[in-house]
Structure 1
Amino acid sequence: MHADDFRHDNYGVVSGLRDGGYSDDMTLAAIAGAHKRLITSPPVAVFPHPIASDLTFSRYWNYLRKQTFVLESYISTVNWLMNRALFLTHFYLSWGFVAPYFMAMVHVAAALQIYIKGYSYGETTCTSGGLLLAIWLAISTFTELLSMWNLTRIEVQLCNILSPEAPKLSLDYYNWSMIFVAMLVDNFLYPISAFWSHFSQTINWSGIRYNLKNGKIHK
């Protein structure tokens, strides 16, 4: 799509973004797909997002609700189908990410229980397969965090190069153990938030109550 498409509201781009809610990327993708227009986006875009030190659960929940509420807005059937596909995909990936850690905790807890009570594996019906999977999960987690660290390192370098007048960013600001915990919490709560947004169709956004009706935003 070109700048003139926005200047002249071709294909309802501007009016669609104005009336369709806040999910601008999904709305634009739906319009482009419906009219066979080409848009591009980076395959990976992961940026650390700092949170306030005095963050409460209610404020965090409201922030998460905003991320899922926008997927309930749409301007066309194509937009609605894309949002539903993203909803189901995110649901599967989120709990698919969390579930292995829950199962690993069960295996580790069972092994600790056997060790504390002085049993041997031969005296129980427990096998070592679960612990091996937990070890592989730990290795995979370390690899994942190492990849995230490297990606963030490059992003920090780019920010420092592109904005030399701004205060220098540093990797020292990031607590990677807390980032990992935040990933688990966020992915566990995301599907719950998505269901909540789907059935409530309302949100308090910066002190303003918004309601959805047929995919459109109403204050």
Structure 2
Amino acid sequence: MGFATGGKTFFLWGGCMMMHADDFRQDRYGIVSGLRDGGYSDDMTLAAIAGQHKRLIFSPPVAVFPHPLASDLSFSRYWNYLRKQTFVLESYVSNVNWMMNRALFTSHCYLSWGFVWPYIMALVHVLAALRAPYSKVVKEASDSSWGLFLVGLLFTCTLIELVSMWNLTKVEIQLCNMLSPEGPKVSLDSYNWGLVFIAVLVDNFLYPVSAIRSHFSQSINWSGIRYYLRDGKISKIERENSSKYTDLGGKHLYGKRTYPPNKSLLGYLSRTLVQWHQPKKYDV
């Protein structure tokens, strides 16, 4: 995974950030009290405070972080990961934080389903074209539309998208191999780009579903600990008897991502979903 901000940005990521110690010691702008009194997301809270008080945020202009996935990743673990991504948008410590989260919620849902919808319409046009020889009404409607032309255009755009993803992945893999010569070499041979494409579609379709689920549930399980929100703040914490793995990371930094023959297609697709679900700036 990686990101490029140019050095100055309006967001920060909790996995890679530093702040002045005096900001915490003096509880400047309510940074400490906001997190202490029911705060949930460190990076989203700090980003909202910085934006509200016109404070600059600096970050590495370009950064790439190895993110190996667990070999036993299941769909339920992926779904919980996605729920944690969207659950963050339900927590806030101020009105500015709430408005920023609502804007992210709305824009992300719109863009996600906006990405999936053309493929659904393309499937409808293809099915109509296949049905046309057996139905006069369908044939007339199909002949009078530009459906198949748009399907071809969408197919071309999809190929360009996959080639771009392949090139970006190749560059990142080369960089990781150069920076970690002591580890096993990683290659593109294990990537199934057909499944990657399906994973991107499924991931974008499920994101709004997860966001809506998080909005109405107001609770999340994080490694056996369930958090409950009320008015944007943590109101209750419950520890479950059995610990559940809700993370996605593998235990070893190095390892070749493959499709184990004894694993289900659903398990592999779950790993692919997360591989191409770019970590959001509100990932906690």
The residue aligned with 2:90 is 72
For 2:149, give the aligned amino acid: L
| Change in 2 beyond 3 A, CA 1:155/1:61 | same
CA distance 1:10–1:67, change in 2 (3 Å)? same
Aligned match of 1:20: 39
Shift of 1:21: 1.0
Shift of 1:61: 1.9
1:34–1:78 Cα contact (<8 Å) kept? yes
Distance 1:146 1:48 in 2: 21
AA aligned to 1:157 is Q
Q: Aligned partners of 2:196 and 2:66: how far apart in 1? A: 9
Whether 1:126 aligns to 2:145 is no
* CA separation of 1:7 and 1:125: change in aligned 2, threshold 3 A: closer
Output the amino acid matched with 1:62: N
Measured in 2, the distance between the counterparts of 1:42 and 1:84 equals 27
Report deviation, 1:214.
2.0
CA–CA distance in 2 between the matches of 1:107 and 1:40?
47
Does the aligned pair in 2 maintain the 1:5–1:13 contact within 8 Å?
Answer: no
- Name whichever of 100-109 and 64-73 sits farther off: 64-73
Question: Which deviates more from structure 2 when the two are superposed, residues 164-173 or residues 51-60?
Answer: 51-60
AA matched with 2:190: Y
Q: C-alpha separation between the residues in 2 aligned to 1:181 and 1:43? A: 31
The question of 1:157 aligning with 2:163 is answered no
* Separation in 2, partners of 1:45, 1:99: 32
Cα deviation, residue 179, structure 1 = 1.2
Alpha-carbon offset, residue 51 of structure 1: 5.1
Contact 2:92 2:98 in 1 (8 A): yes
Deviations 1:184-210 (A, max 9, x none): 111111111111101110111111111
Shift of 1:178: 1.0
Q: 44, 49, 70: which is aligned to 1:31?
A: 49
More deviation, 209-218/30-39: 209-218
Counterpart residue type for residue 124 of structure 1: E
Deviates more, 1:11-20 or 1:123-132: 11-20
Identity %: 68
Q: What is the TM-score with the length of structure 2 in the denominator?
A: 0.67
Alignment-derived partner of residue 214 in structure 2: 197
User: Map of 1:40-119 to 2, 5 A cutoff?
Assistant: 40=58, 52=70, 54-115=72-133, 117=134
* TM norm structure 1: 0.85
Query: How many residues are treated as equivalent by the alignment?
Result: 216
Distance of aligned partners of 1:169 and 1:6 in 2 relative to their CA distance in 1, 3 Å threshold: farther
Supply the distance in 2 between the matched residues of 1:181 and 1:202 (Cα, whole angstroms): 29
Query: Quick one: structure 1 residues 53 and 145, their matched pair in 2 at CA, closer, same or farther if it must change by over 3 Å?
Result: same
* Change in CA separation of 1:41 and 1:114 when aligned onto 2, cut-off 3 Å: farther
**Contact 1:26/1:82 (CA < 8 Å) preserved in 2?**
no
Task: Looking at secondary structure, tell me which structure has more helix per residue.
Answer: 1
The answer to whether the 8 A contact 1:5-1:11 is kept is no
Does the CA-based 8 Å contact 2:66-2:176 persist in structure 1? no
User: C-alpha displacement at 1:53, in angstroms?
Assistant: 5.4
Residue pair 1:27, 1:75 contacting (<8 A) in 2 also: yes
| Unaligned ranges ≥5, structure 1 | none
